[in-house]
Amino acid sequence: MLYDNITVKDGKLFFAGMDTTLLAKKHGTPLYLMDEDRIRGNCRAYRDALKGCACPDSEAVYASKACSFAGIYKMIAEEGLCADVVSPGEIYTAKKAGFPMERAYFQGNNKTDEDIAFAIDCGVGYFVCDNFEELDVLDRIAGEKGVRQKILLRVTPGIDPHTYAEVSTGKVDSKFGVAIETGQAAEAVQKALSKKNLIFEGIHCHVGSMVFDSDVFLRASAVMLGFAAEIKKNLGAEIKILDLGGGYGVKYYPGQGEIDIPQNIKAVAKRVAELSEEYGLKTPSLRLEPGRSIVADAGITLYTVGSVKKITGYKNYVSVDGGMTDNPRYALYESKYTVLTANKADSPCDMTADLVGRCCESGDIIQPGVSFPSSIERGDAVAVLTTGAYNYSMASNYNRVPRPPIVLLRGGSDRVAVRRESLDDLLSNDIV
Ligand SMILES: *Cc1c(COP(=O)(O)O)cnc(C)c1O
């Protein structure tokens, strides 16, 4: 199987040791299941790799946009990770869940005045500043509130990770950050240093997502250290923190690339320490911001089949009770997934069909060209694997479809962490 938390017993698909067909009956479908031990294990792998690495006081920061709900901030806090937040909504959720906000990093390329004031009031530890305007406004608002705000500056190192254009963010012409190559990043550091209400702590980059090439982070760290050396030489400032963002890839289908994350972290930290020495810099503390690789393999989605349509001489469709509303990733990026029939998990797959959702949209495809057992019929349960990242957090109410619940599995028991949206929830903001 794709991951060791997925097994088959008596023809039934088990996830995190539990029978998914029983969970589908108990909680209804569509249903997001999350393996809590896997989330925690993924957190620990990062924490342990960073603890023993060559850069002192290094930490992992969970990029919570990958999957954001109150319970996950609590888990992340318990596992000793920091959190990336990108909106007042994420900040508010984290704070309500009791997350230590001094360990939160506020990301984003357009923070409004209201966002900035709200984040300061919530005690967000770090702003990852994206642009010149933000430095001016943050300095002003921090001053009004009598706060000196710690910041990192987001820069673009000019590295193309060669993954997917939609998730590639480290190139010079990206909408995120300021470019090192054009000299604008150095200008931004100078500006930050001149602001009396800002404390310049270091530099940040995020080159992209779904990275399997271990060389990408080594190249990024070399460019970033070169920039740190330039800052020291020209502006007399040293960075304390080097934040290399997120982006480690995960496996969605058999045979896809793999990367040994702990080993890569050690190698990157070693390179950073060596280059620091070479440039006469104090070795900075590292930050890495994994999102996908913390939650993706901890999630699967269950659906119930409604119809099997065989268009003779053309193609077949298996329609289920969810779709682009709970998983828009195929529609957005043509993302690949592994699909299993949860109650016929050891039946031979002898029929090809597109797995489609219930929305009024031809593009409502969860996955094309899936192999199913030809006995698949209405009432069967279908599982889409590796849906823990960017599924719930990207879900919508298109066609007024309520969002599915998240059920956490741990030690053989199941617990609802986010309840299913009700029809009344859909109306809760409507004024008649
Ligand atoms: C999206 C994002 C991440 C997380 O990326 P993953 O590919 O999910 O690990 C980290 N940092 C920033 C700034 C991001 O925008």
Per residue in 172-211, pLDDT tens? 888 999 999 999 999 999 999 999 999 999 999 999 999 9
Work out the percent of the chain whose per-residue pLDDT is above 70: 98
With respect to residue 129, please indicate whether it lies within any of the assigned structural domains.
yes
| 3-state SS string for 185-247 | HHHHHHHHHHCCCEEEEEEECCCECCECCCHHHHHHHHHHHHHHHHHHHHHCCCCCEEECCCC
Last residue of a domain, one of 253, 277, 295: 295
Is residue 360 annotated as a catalytic residue, yes or no? yes
Q: Which residues pair with 9 in a beta bridge?
A: 12
244 CA distance to ligand 1 middle (Å)? 10
Instruction: Identify the sign of the CA torsion 197, 201, 202, 208.
Output: negative
How many structural domains is the chain composed of? 2
Mean pLDDT of the chain: 96
100 CA distance to ligand 1 middle (Å)? 20
How far apart CA 87 and CA 93 sit, in angstroms, is 10
| pTM of the model as a whole | 0.97
Q: Could you list the residue range(s) of the whole structural domain that residue 274 is in?
A: 37-295
The stretch 238-266 carries a mean pLDDT of: 96
132 CA distance to ligand 1 middle (Å)? 22
How far apart CA 249 and CA 77 sit, in angstroms, is 23
Enumerate residues lining ligand 1, CB below 6 A.
Answer: 63, 65-66, 84, 107, 206, 209, 245-248, 289-293
Residue 236 confidence (pLDDT): 97
282 and 253 belong to one structural domain: yes
Residues sharing a CB contact under 8 Å with residue 430, sequence separation 6 or more, in sequence order: none
Query: ∠ CA(55), CA(60), CA(61), 5° rounding?
Result: 135
From residue 377, alpha-carbon distances to 255, 280, 359 in Å are 29, 67, 20
Query: pLDDT tens digit string along 59-104?
Result: 999 999 999 999 999 999 999 999 999 999 999 999 999 999 999 9
Last residue of a domain, one of 246, 280, 295: 295
Atom of ligand 1 nearest to the CA of 66: 8
Residue 415 confidence (pLDDT): 98
CATH assignment at residue 80: 3.20.20.10
286 and 407 belong to one structural domain: no
With respect to residue 431, please indicate whether it lies within any of the assigned structural domains.
no
The rounded Cα 406 to chain-centroid distance in angstroms is 16
53 and 11 belong to one structural domain: no
Residue 165 confidence (pLDDT): 60
The stretch 218-228 carries a mean pLDDT of: 97
* The two three-digit tokens of residue 236, written as one number: 């007399």
Q: How confident is the model at residue 159 (pLDDT cuts 50, 70, 90)?
A: confident
316 and 222 belong to one structural domain: no
How far apart CA 361 and CA 236 sit, in angstroms, is 57
Residue 168 has pLDDT above 70, yes or no: no
Q: How confident is the model at residue 225 (pLDDT cuts 50, 70, 90)?
A: very high
Virtual CA dihedral for 75, 81, 82, 85, nearest 10 degrees?
-50
